Amino acid sequence: MTPYPITTLRRENQTLVLENVGLKKLAADYGTPLYVYSKAALSEAWQAWQVPADRPIHICYAVKANSNIAILNFFARQGAFFDTVSQGEIARVLAAGAPAHRVVFSGVAKSVKEIEFALNEGIHCFNVESLAELDRLHAVATRLGKRAPISLRINPDVDAKTHPYISTGLKENKFGIDHTEALAAYQYAASLSGLNIIGIDYHIGSQLTSLTPYLDAQNRLFGLVKQLAEHGITLEHIDLGGGLGVRYRDEVPPTAASLVEQALNGLREAGFNHALMFEPGRSLVANAGLMLTEVEYLKPTQHKNFAIVDAGMNDLIRPALYEAWMQVVNIDEHDASAVAAQHYDVVGPVCESTDWLAKDRELAVQAGDVLAVLSAGAYCMTMASNYNSRQRPAELLVDGSTVHVIRERDTLASLWADERIPE
């Protein structure tokens, strides 16, 4: 197993290089904290999902994982579909150059305004999560003189064996329609003239490292498809969701190809000829990115050592939010005789006890060093905030030896640019 989950990252002359660009120079030129993505790693992740098949397979990139329009534009040019959960995400996808007919709209709380926007833009499909949403979609579509293309998101009550905060397929989760109520929901949808039933879908969670939950949910869904056909409800596509895990430390998740092949085999055995859809996010971008952060101080105490860095939970919230483990490495190697390795908690400047990036990590580090937090391409910058009136980091895209600034760092003035003092 390679030392880094980012395959385009390597160490040359005792310093880290991403593709053909040294990370030390990027930190010096653009400052820290700083997000850096590898175009080659994005391409590698996309190609992993390209499996020859006897039917259409649409890979819908989950925009919430990383919504920078340069990343969206990259996937749009590959022919990706897009899984969105808000009007803002739909607008981002369109601004990035993707056509509306490659957009799927998920989410449990679609507003009238969002539905109107999506219908007028002509998106591919609404993934519907409740009977109340069916009523709202029907009413809005009828008023606009349109028919809303829909797929019902089924909650299969399958344990994804992942962190409870990122599980979405159990009956106690807020997502989807209970599988035991699915037939009645489809029959009700078929009675509404403003709706056009085209699919069925599920999504059971994120960072899945075994095919077993997928197959359990898939079998339950395929059973429903047969039941629907027996009642005269035919579908164009089956959407098997996303959630495929990635390697952060020592995980060995299934490959995208194995997941697609299992689905194709299941379709053939069932005699189905539906198009397939998948909604990967993390597996496409997580290991295409990293965050750079500078060590401001070392603070030894009687109980533990702290490496205090300039990046905080507002820049990268995953560890604080659900105790995510992310590899942290010094971009420069020190001579062991000069700097001894010790165990550190890597913590940030935000005034919260939960402001940490890593705990109990063995690092040879001194003040002024730059650390790289790996696997930071998904659910990191996209969840950043200005808490403590901190400027969100810049984002860079490395392409060979070329560096593109794909988002400028916030300025101080931008922190209050939309605020007003009453007269």
Residues in the annotated binding site for substrate: 282, 318, 322, 352, 379
Give the count of alpha carbons within 13 A of 240, CB side only: 28
Distance CA 341, CA 312 (A): 23
Give the count of alpha carbons within 13 A of 16, CB side only: 28
Distance of CA 133 to the CA centre of its chain: 24
Q: What is the token pair recorded at 54?
A: 């006897």
Distance CA 353, CA 81 (A): 40
Residue 327 vs residues 6, 292, 340, 358, 361: alpha-carbon distances, Å: 10, 12, 19, 8, 9
Distance CA 395, CA 397 (A): 7
At residue 275, what is the residue type?
A
Q: What residues are annotated to the active site?
A: 351
How long a stretch of residues is the chain? 423
Can the peptide bond before residue 149 be classed as cis, meaning omega within 30 degrees of 0?
Answer: no
Distance CA 109, CA 136 (A): 11
* Short-list 280, 374, 216, 270, CA closest to 82: 280
Please state the residue numbers annotated as binding site for pyridoxal 5'-phosphate.
Answer: 243, 279-282, 379
Q: What is the token pair recorded at 350?
A: 């935000």
- The H helix count followed by the E strand count for the chain is 11, 21
Q: Residue 177, SS3?
A: strand
Distance CA 239, CA 254 (A): 18
Please state the residue numbers annotated as binding site.
Answer: 243, 279-282, 318, 322, 352, 379
Q: Residue 301, SS3?
A: coil
Residue 142 vs residues 137, 147, 393: alpha-carbon distances, Å: 8, 7, 44
* Short-list 356, 357, 362, CA closest to 336: 362
At residue 93, what is the residue type?
V
